[in-house]
Structure 1
Amino acid sequence: MYSKELTKGTLQPIILKLLSQSDKMYGYEITQKVKELTRGKIDISEGALYPILHKLEADGILDTEKVYLGKRVRKYYTVTGSGKKAAQEITDELNDFIATLSLIFNEKQLAK
């Protein structure tokens, strides 16, 4: 598992990317999908997840829908129209950042 310091800056892009590829997801589902896709290397805690979801909702990037399951309420998150544009922009920026980091950390590049 990666350290919290290493993953902290990538959690919002990860969450936004997953939500933009899905019709709707709820919090626990997001954490489990990230864990599955990363083979357990990235584990998003509730304490990290929900502040990001609430900020994205406040910024108009996400919409929410409450679904009642008996006595429980499940809150689903979906990406808005402007959120889809934001998701693409942040994906492009993150991919460029990864390419830039590879200039430093890729040993083959350093040997040139």
Structure 2
Amino acid sequence: MKNSQLYKGSLTTIIMKLLEENGRMYGYEITQKVKSITKGELNITEGALYPALHKLEGEGLLDVEVEKVGNRLRKYYKLTEDGQKETVNRLAELEEFIKNMQTLVNPKINPDLQF
């Protein structure tokens, strides 16, 4: 399940959650953190990450800070105030989605469910 379609709809929420926990991060750092947390089960490609970051920035949910590191410029991303509020909303929505999926996949968990 390295790059499952199931993750694609949750990518921005994953990014926002990491930024909420870590303050600010640069792109490669985000990919490595996800890989580490999931023990290699989820690998976010640059082709998926950067469009998601640019979309969040365009929506006013991320701020970008550029710093010179060695001879390179590095972009750090952090949540705006609106981004912090939206992270709470998206995490609640994702938790509800997961709960509903668990009920659908394993109805024994919720015996009140009638088909």
Same fold? TM cut 0.5: yes
For residues 50 and 3 of structure 1, the distance between their equivalents in structure 2, rounded to whole angstroms, comes to 16
| 1:26-65 matches, cutoff 5 A | 26-65=26-65
For residues 2 and 95 of structure 1, the distance between their equivalents in structure 2, rounded to whole angstroms, comes to 21
Task: Confirm or deny: 8 A CA contact 1:2 1:42 kept in the other structure.
Answer: yes
Tell me the SS of whatever aligns to 1:57: helix
Tell me the SS of whatever aligns to 2:36: helix
Task: Confirm or deny: 8 A CA contact 2:64 2:77 kept in the other structure.
Answer: yes
Tell me the SS of whatever aligns to 1:17: helix
Structure 1 or 2: larger helix share? 1
Quick one: which amino acid aligns to residue 8 of structure 1? Answer: K
Give structure 2 stretches of 5+ with no counterpart: none
Q: CA deviation at 1:5?
A: 1.3
Give structure 1 stretches of 5+ with no counterpart: none
Q: Which moved more, 1:101-110 or 1:18-27?
A: 101-110
Quick one: which amino acid aligns to residue 95 of structure 1? Answer: E
For residues 24 and 5 of structure 1, the distance between their equivalents in structure 2, rounded to whole angstroms, comes to 27
Task: Confirm or deny: 8 A CA contact 1:104 1:110 kept in the other structure.
Answer: no
> Which structure 1 residue ranges, 4+ long, deviate > 2 Å from structure 2?
1-4, 107-112
Q: Which moved more, 1:14-23 or 1:89-98?
A: 14-23
Instruction: Give the superposed CA RMSD.
Output: 1.5
In structure 2, the residue matched to 1:12 is: 12
Task: Confirm or deny: 8 A CA contact 2:3 2:43 kept in the other structure.
Answer: no
Report how many aligned residue pairs link the two structures: 112
For residues 104 and 39 of structure 1, the distance between their equivalents in structure 2, rounded to whole angstroms, comes to 27
